[in-house]
């Protein structure tokens, strides 16, 4: 039990730049208090002492403003920052190293008693302030949910979901990478306070991203040109032997060939 508490405190100090000391974390972090009380409520729930579990959860809510149903399953080092207004439903599952900000709801959309009605957050998910994640689906490992997003569909591992209804704005990483077992250190190292991408405003980083975007646009255009040439019957391997100058304006070559093809069609 103390081992768990120690790692909860360490996780808070690691993830909240405002946390200055262990004493401050133990006395001033309602998220920590809510999680400790949830462990008591969860144990009661699983021993069949349902009312006691619910009552403990309501005491925690009264003290912290965070309502976690005693049936919900929380992993290790889960951090609920600020916490006021957080509601976590009965069948929600929260993986290790997840971070949840104030006003988040992990809610259900079905009334089916006994069924899984609430979301599952895999390892390392960050849920921004005020976000609502509604339904029985999975938010993949290391995904980020923007503040005030309303998420009603699964989010792939490593993806970022924003808006209402939420859309994916950042590419997902390969689930095999994100789900890698024993990746706790990796998760810790990858954690960015408030889920923001580090160095997003750094001019060097912006320039590199600009170059990457430019290169990928060029590659896409070249593919389109090559596809157009092939449609016109050109053998692309035959172009490999010619000097670079001849390949400078493939687009022009393509339009000339298209023009010739149209002329030939007209003659037919």
Secondary structure class of 100 (helix, strand, coil):
strand
Q: Interface with ligand COA includes 146 (CB under 6 A)? A: yes
Q: Interface with ligand COA includes 129 (CB under 6 A)? A: yes
* Long-range contacts at 72-76 (CB < 8 A, ≥ 24 apart): 72/38, 72/42, 72/106, 72/118, 73/42, 74/35, 74/38, 74/42, 75/123, 76/4, 76/7
Shortest reach from residue 200's CB to ligand COA, in Å: 5
127 within 8 A of 142, measured Cβ to Cβ: no
Among 1-9, 173-181, 188-196, 204-212, the segment contacting ligand COA (CB under 6 A)? 188-196
Nearer to ligand COA, 70 or 146 (CB): 146
CA distances from 174 to 93, 142, 157, 264 (A): 22, 11, 7, 48
Among 64-72, 192-200, 226-234, 246-254, the segment contacting ligand COA (CB under 6 A)? 192-200
> Residue 150: beta bridge partners?
132
Shortest reach from residue 108's CB to ligand COA, in Å: 22
Q: Interface with ligand COA includes 199 (CB under 6 A)? A: no
DSSP for 155-209, please give it. B-TT-EEETTTTEEEEPPPPHHHHT-TT-HHHHHHH--GGGPPTTTT-HHHHHHH
Query: Residue 87: which of 124, 150, 133, 147 has the closest Cα?
Result: 133
Among 18-26, 38-46, 65-73, 189-197, the segment contacting ligand COA (CB under 6 A)? 189-197
Among 117-125, 146-154, 183-191, 201-209, the segment contacting ligand COA (CB under 6 A)? 146-154
Per-residue contact string for residues 155-174; x = within reach of ligand COA by CB under 6 A: -----x-xx-----x-----
Q: Interface with ligand COA includes 12 (CB under 6 A)? A: no
Nearer to ligand COA, 31 or 71 (CB): 31
Shortest reach from residue 79's CB to ligand COA, in Å: 12
Q: Interface with ligand COA includes 191 (CB under 6 A)? A: no
Nearer to ligand COA, 177 or 196 (CB): 196
> Which one of 83, 128, 158, 159 is in contact with ligand COA (CB under 6 A)?
128
Quick one: tokens of 58? Answer: 């309501």
d(CA 81, CA 193): 11
Nearer to ligand COA, 92 or 126 (CB): 126
Distance of CA 12 to the CA centre of its chain: 19
Burial 138-158 (b: 16+ CB within 10 A, else e): bbbbbbbbbbebbbbebbbbb
> Applying CB under 6 A, which residues contact ligand COA?
82, 101, 128-129, 144, 146-148, 160, 162-163, 169, 194-197, 200
């Amino acid at each position: 039990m103390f081992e768990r508490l120690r790692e909860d405190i360490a996780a808070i100090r690691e993830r909240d730049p405002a946390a200055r000391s262990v004493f401050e974390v133990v006395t001033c972090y309602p998220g920590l208090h809510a999680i400790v009380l949830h462990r008591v409520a969860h144990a009661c729930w699983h021993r069949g002492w349902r009312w006691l579990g619910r009552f403990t959860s309501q005491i925690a809510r009264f003290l912290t403003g965070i309502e976690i149903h005693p049936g919900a399953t929380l992993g290790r080092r889960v951090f609920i920052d600020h916490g006021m207004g957080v509601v976590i439903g009965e069948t929600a599952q929260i993986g290790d190293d997840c971070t949840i900000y104030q006003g988040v709801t992990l809610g259900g959309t079905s009334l089916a008693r006994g069924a899984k009605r609430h979301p599952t957050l895999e390892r390392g998910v960050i849920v921004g302030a005020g976000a609502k994640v509604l339904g029985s689906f999975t938010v993949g490992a290391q995904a980020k949910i923007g503040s005030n997003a309303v998420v009603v569909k699964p989010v792939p591992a490593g993806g970022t979901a924003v808006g209402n209804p939420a859309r994916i704005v950042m590419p997902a990483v390969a689930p095999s990478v994100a789900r890698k077992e024993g990746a706790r250190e990796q998760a810790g190292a990858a954690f960015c306070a408030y889920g923001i991408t580090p160095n997003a405003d750094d001019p060097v980083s912006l320039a590199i991203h600009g170059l990457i975007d430019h290169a990928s646009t060029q590659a896409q255009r070249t593919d389109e040109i090559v596809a157009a040439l092939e449609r016109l019957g050109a053998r692309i391997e035959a172009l490999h032997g010619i000097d670079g100058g001849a390949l400078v304006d493939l687009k022009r070559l393509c339009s000339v060939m298209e023009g010739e093809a149209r002329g030939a069609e007209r003659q037919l």
